[in-house]
Structure 1
Amino acid sequence: MADVKTGDLVTPGDQLCVIEELSPGYGTYEKDGIVFAATSGGVSIDLKDRAIRILEPNGTVRLPLPVQGDILMGEALNVYEQRAEVSLVKRNGKDILSPLAGEIHISNVTRRFVRSMSDVIRPGDIVKAVALNTHTIPVELSLIGPDLGVLLAKCVKCGNDLTLTTYNNLICLRCEHRETREVAKEYGHMFGLEQRTDLAPRRRSYDDRRQDRGRRGSGGRRNNYHYGNHSRRNGRPRRDSRR
């Protein structure tokens, strides 16, 4: 029989039964033939339909797990070299009664090359993502798309909200620290933050870059090399090869 009975309280990840005993219903998911709890709540077993589901404490049915294409919002909890863990709290604009676990792989952040996940997302960031799979925990997420990405980021130095300047460039108005994220098109809008293009990183002019190249390329050997009968190189007279 099942490992639990009707009325038992469970949390996400708790093993409930095997698929041969009961079919997964609301608030559950199946992996490798075992049914697990996807959210917190009370167990409800329907012996007639041979199904198991998770209910709210007041007896109401929880919303089903996200499906492919659902738009989800949440907070980044842990960020590693190649992936980030997200606590999901909204699904298609509606609150999720109990946070769900989501995960973003570095290959699903942007189409451009990214060396490390911390270059595009940090712990505490609020993100908007799309679900890549159906009825699985953790939910596989993608940030690829103009309406997807980081909606709000915090300064890693002082914790203040970061302000968007230009494409993926952010600045802290308190300590002037600059950072980068893979931001959504509507970054900061729902949090009352306005874009400040006047604070964008200054782009160096062509003349400045050319002067720097000239300074790097000028060495002692070139400066000491002169042409003519009386020129010297390395302290010795230079012989004129002309007849």
Structure 2
Amino acid sequence: MAPPARYCVPGERLCSTEEATAGSGTYTRHGFIFSSLAGCLERRNEDSELPVVSVVRDSESQLLPNVGAVVTCKVCSINSRFAKVHILYVGSTPLKSTFRGTIRREDIRATEKDKVEVYKSFRPSDIVLAKVISLGDAQSNYLLSTAENELGVVVARSEAGVQMVPISWCEMQCPRTHTKEFRKVARVQPQFLQT
């Protein structure tokens, strides 16, 4: 039976550099190896004489959106300056709790930013692919962008409650009523499609 895993906290001294070599999740200082994150201590013997010491994050820990990550979010509300969203996925990983984000009018499209109208790009309850551009602050939360062609609305429902079909980069159509609505439509790449 394996011994229980030792849990480490950031800054905790693990051992000397004479006993082991530093692996992922660790750093060395003054001849000692320290943990750089919270997680479980792992000691592996590889090809070298000394074992490799690393700290591995708990797989149950909360994943956080970081700058540059593509996120899936749901539009909660819109006004003339921005759309408020709840972030549901980072990449293809569902989040345990939702994070709030903002897509500003100037971050919706890459071109003709001054002509963008938020209500012609998103509607409440739309599902949107966006990229995190800033961690924001206490008021604005995560700042998101849909300026790339691959980003924008991926799922939208019409007034009739039917999932709409994209017909161009700026319009979606209801298959039942054939009414068209403006959206900032994403050109979805296969890796972002949920199966």
CA–CA separation in structure 2 for the residues paired with 1:164 and 1:172: 9
Counterpart position of 1:68: 67
Higher relative strand content:
2
TM alignment of 1:232-243, pairs within 5 A = none
Choose from 165, 168, 193 the match for 1:166: 168
Cα root mean square deviation, aligned: 2.9
Aligned equivalents of 1:147 and 1:178: distance in 2? 21
The 2-side partners of 1:167 and 1:115 are apart by 13
Higher relative contact order (CA 8 A, sep 6+): 2
**Residue 83 of structure 1 contacts residue 106 of structure 1 at CA under 8 Å; is this kept in 2?**
yes
Q: Which has the larger radius of gyration?
A: 1
| Structure with a larger share of its residues in helix | 1
Counterpart of 1:128 in structure 2 is 129
Distance 1:116 1:88 in 2: 22
Give, in angstroms, the shift of residue 78 of structure 1.
0.4
Shift of 1:144: 0.7
Equivalent pair of 1:67/1:135 in contact (CA under 8 Å): no
In structure 2, C-alpha distance between the alignment counterparts of 1:102 and 1:134, rounded to whole Å: 9
Moved over 3 A (4+): 134-137, 189-192
Aligned to 1:144: 147
Give the equivalent residue in structure 2 for 1:102: 101
Aligned length: 134
In the alignment, is the contact (CA less than 8 A) between 2:168 and 2:185 conserved in 1?
no
Unaligned runs of 5+ in 1: 1-59, 193-243
For each residue in 1:139-164, what CA deviation from the matched residue of structure 2 results, as whole angstroms up to 9, or x when unmatched?
Answer: 10000112111111111x21211111
Structure 2 unaligned residues grouped into runs of 5+:
1-59
